[in-house]
Each structure stands twice: as C-alpha cells, then as structure tokens.
Chain A
Amino acid sequence: MTDAATQTRSVIVEREIAYPPEKIWRALTQPRLIAEWLMANDFQPVVGHRFDLRADWGTVDCQVLEIEPNRTLSYTWAANGLESVVTWTLTSTTRGVHLRMEQTGFQADQKLAYHGAKAGWPRFLARLEEMLARAD
C-alpha cells in the first residue's frame, strides 16, 4: 500500500444539544430510534457485535468497538471502499450535552483504482451528470 492509500482523514461534527445524556444515548443505541434518524439497522449495544445499516443506496457494514453508557460509543463503518471508525462522545454541559461525532478513516484508493478503469469512470461521469442535472 502506498502512503496515499493509507492516509487517514477525519470528519468531525459537533453540536450542543439541550437534552440529558441518557436520552441522547437511547437515540444513539436503540435500533428502533436509530432507524428514525440514521438508517434501518440491527444494532446491539454489545462490544464485537456486527451489524448493518441499510439505506436505499446501499449497506454500511459495522462492528461495535467501544461502549461506555451515556459517554462514548464507537463502531466501524465500511461502505463503498471507505474504511472508517465512527466515534460518538457525549459531554455534559450546563445546557445539556455537547455531542461530538468523529469519523476517521481512509478511502481504499488502490482498490478503487483497480476497479476504476472499468466501472469507476462511467459511474463517476453518470453521477456527475446527475449532479449537473440537479444543479439546473
């Protein structure tokens, strides 16, 4: 693997939410509630549990890495050549909770480049055309 292929990057989204941590924790860990804001799933709050997140555009393969109730939740997130880890952190504040989501990972560039010649380019261009059509 080249350096470019293993280069990790992060996305961080954080918000101050005016609810107690216990309530936010339920929304993050109960399958029926997760389905309401994220995707259909078979999540279980058990370290090592493998689960899927299912949307109309595809499936995300996940595995629970870490659980500390009302504080932190971490799971792997693999989809479309993206290998990553999603970590939720809840920190109590005077107003409620500071909720932080960090996704760290890398795009499997070599895998993409390998498939790219055949499937990637037409698909990329089709997607580009869709985007342009929507932009009109």
Chain B
Amino acid sequence: MLYSHDMLFKSLADPTRRVIFERLCREGEQTVGALTAQAGVSQPAVSKHLGVLKQAGLVLDRHAGRQTHYSAQRGALAALIDWTSEMAGFWESRFDDLEDLLKRMDQ
C-alpha cells in the first residue's frame, strides 16, 4: 500500500477537507476556483487542503492551461474499507473467546 492509514485519517480529519473530498466524489473533477466558490474559505486555503488530500493519495491534479483540475481517488479509501483486515481482527478476538470458553468447559 502506497499511502499510510495515518495520512488518510489525518487528511480526512479536517471538516473542510472532507467537504472538498465529498464534493469531488459526488460531482467529479473540479477546478480550484469552482471548489473555492462553495468552500467558504479563501483560494489559498483550498489549495492547501487539496495539497494535503493529494499527499494522502485521495485526489489527483491535472493541469490544463492556467487551470488545475482536481478529481477524487476513491481507490485510496480501499485500505480503510477492505473487509479482510476488519474480519481478521474480528476472528482473532473470537478465537480468544473460544479458548476462554474451552477453559471454562473444563470445570
């Protein structure tokens, strides 16, 4: 995995960045200008947030003329919603409880 869980968590911990990311997921590729118009913060602030999202692998930028277009990379979330890691933790703790039960069955 290229990007760490830490970076994903940190970048999505900020409410403004979540709004930006969700909008890109919902509405597709957008320019910084279009995102700023609805974000309620300045363009440099939006650019900074996009930089953090990009570092975490959550967005991709594409330069076209003087404009930069950003798009969401939903695939980056796969690490967080991968069922195998969730279930592995689940079964490990079930095994613990099973062993506890087997001990109790002795008595």
Q: A: which residues have CB within 8 A of B?
A: 9-11, 13, 15, 17, 19, 23-24, 26-27, 33, 36-38, 82, 99, 101, 103, 105, 107, 117, 121, 124-125, 128, 131-132, 135
Contacts and interface: CB of A to CB of B under 8 A. Distances in A.
Contacts of B94: 37-38
Given A82-B83, A125-B18, A128-B9, A13 B95 contact: yes
B7 interface: no
Contacts, number: 63
B102 A24 contact: yes
Contacts of A99: 95
Contacts of B104: 36
Contacts of B18: 125
Interface residues of B, number: 26
Interface stretch (B37-45, B58-66, B85-93): B85-93
B99 to A, nearest CB: 7
Nearest to A125: B18
B1 interface: no
Given A11-B88, A37-B97, A23 B102 contact: yes
Contact of A124 (B81, B99, B101, B105): B81
B34 interface: no
Contacts of B91: 11, 13, 101, 103
Nearest to B103: A19
A107 B102 contact: no
Contacts of A121: 22, 25-26
B2 interface: no
Most B CB contacts (10 A, CB to CB) among A13, A24, A105, A132 go to A13
Contacts of A132: 9, 13
Contacts of B84: 9-11
Contact of A125 (B22, B98, B99): B22
Contact of A19 (B9, B13, B92, B102): B102
B83 A15 contact: no
A11 B92 CA distance: 11
A37 B83 CA distance: 21
Given A11-B91, A124-B81, A132-B9, A27 B98 contact: yes
Contact of A103 (B13, B87, B92): B87
